[in-house]
């Protein structure tokens, strides 16, 4: 893999990831862009002890342009996009409309995002310092992740690993989250095949809860929670969707979504940057397999969210573990899974599909 770094007209970074045989000379960004001036803010919710990102500048972001106006396609004659080159393999760049954007010092009140919560904090706020990046999987506009070649998927995995390592070294980043929103039903605003990477300045609520559960489990049993979950699923096998030399994909015992797959490495690691070369190479093929099953599940357009859960950058290695969670918002070919009051208001999910039946159908979608 070759990485070539350049700068866009407004000062944002862009990284080309090419195959080992490709030597790139970055084309300059010809657009007359002003320097990035977006600002976001973190506001503290004292009831749930959670940080909320406030980013009013994102209301004006690009919304479902035509294929001819896609900002993620390569630049061409008469059309300048976010990617100055006329071709690319995989490219990663800073989001033009980032949720986390502030890099200048500003007034901060209340707890630090990753520190302990003081006794009384009712209206804490801080600058929204962090990082938001876009990952373009391919220059082709009308394909999905599942349509990538094996070599293209390997480059995407290499980009995830590289960016996880780079962002983890940023002192403002507490957690790195690589994810993909795919399909109109999910609410994607750009249909070009792409994902995103967030470098949060705090540990997210979902991860804090998972780490607390894993720590409590270790105190009670002396074992790792994620190791035991994987061992149970492999031993039971009723919910296993696929197994490879390095990875196991399964529908979780208490799946919240009608069709949901969790993907674990067979040997635990803390994050994508710590994958062995064998794990990373195998992951490319397994990812294509998993995403392809969602594409074929209903014989129609797919809609899913795929997110990598990683150990926070400054946490120990003992309890948390890298894993991928993928779910679709479809519960049938002609029905969506809407979050009703119980789910969206209380976080108490009701699943309309028995997990073992979901696993059977996902195995059949090979």
- Give the residue numbers annotated as catalytic, written as ranges: 194
Q: At 304, list the tokens.
A: 């899913």
Asked if 167 and 197 count as a contact pair (C-beta separation under 8 A), the reply is yes
Round the CA-based radius of gyration of the chain to a whole number and report it.
21
Neighbours of 292 (CB within 10 A): 17
Neighbours of 348 (CB within 10 A): 9
136 marked among binding-site residues: no
267 marked among binding-site residues: no
124 CB-side CA count, 13 A: 18
Q: At 95, list the tokens.
A: 């989001």
Q: What 3-state class would DSSP assign to 265? A: strand
CB burial class (10 A; 0-12, 13-18, 19+) of residue 138? buried
The C-alpha atoms of residue 358 and residue 232 are separated, in whole angstroms, by 18
15 marked among binding-site residues: no
Binding residues for Zn(2+): 70, 73, 141, 192
Binding residues: 70, 73, 141, 192
């Amino acid at each position: 893999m070759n990485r070539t770094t350049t700068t866009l007209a407004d000062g944002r970074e862009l990284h080309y990831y090419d195959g080992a045989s490709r030597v790139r000379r970055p084309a300059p960004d010809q657009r007359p862009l002003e320097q990035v001036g977006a600002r976001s803010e973190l506001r503290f919710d004292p009831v749930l002890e959670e940080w909320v990102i406030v980013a009013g500048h994102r209301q004006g972001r690009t919304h479902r342009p035509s294929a001819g106006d896609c900002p993620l396609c390569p630049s061409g004659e008469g059309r300048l996009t976010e990617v100055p080159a006329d071709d690319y393999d995989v490219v990663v760049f800073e989001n033009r409309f980032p949720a986390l954007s502030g890099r200048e010092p500003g007034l901060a009140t209340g707890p630090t995002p990753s520190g302990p919560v003081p006794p009384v904090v009712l209206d804490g706020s801080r600058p929204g310092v962090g990082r938001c990046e876009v990952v373009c999987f391919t220059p082709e506009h009308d394909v999905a992740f599942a349509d990538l070649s094996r070599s293209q998927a390997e480059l995407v995995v290499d980009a995830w690993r590289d960016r996880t390592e780079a962002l983890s070294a940023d002192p403002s980043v507490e957690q790195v989250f690589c994810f993909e929103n795919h399909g109109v039903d999910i609410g994607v605003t750009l249909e070009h095949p792409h994902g995103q990477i967030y470098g949060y300045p705090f540990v997210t609520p979902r991860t804090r809860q998972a780490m607390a559960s894993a720590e409590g489990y270790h105190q009670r049993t002396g074992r790792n929670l994620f190791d035991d979950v994987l061992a149970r699923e492999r031993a039971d096998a009723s919910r296993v969707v696929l197994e490879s030399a390095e990875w196991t994909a399964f529908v979780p015992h208490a799946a919240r979504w009608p069709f949901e797959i969790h993907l674990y490495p067979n040997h635990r690691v803390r994050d994508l940057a710590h994958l062995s070369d064998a794990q990373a190479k195998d992951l490319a093929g397994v990812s294509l397999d998993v995403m392809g099953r969602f594409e074929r599940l209903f014989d129609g357009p797919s809609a899913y969210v795929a997110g990598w859960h990683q150990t926070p950058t400054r946490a120990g290695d003992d309890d948390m573990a890298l894993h991928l969670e993928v779910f679709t918002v479809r519960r049938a070919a002609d029905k969506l899974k809407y979050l009703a009051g119980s789910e969206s208001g209380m976080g108490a999910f009701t699943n309309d599909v028995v997990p073992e039946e979901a696993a059977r159908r996902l195995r059949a979608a090979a």
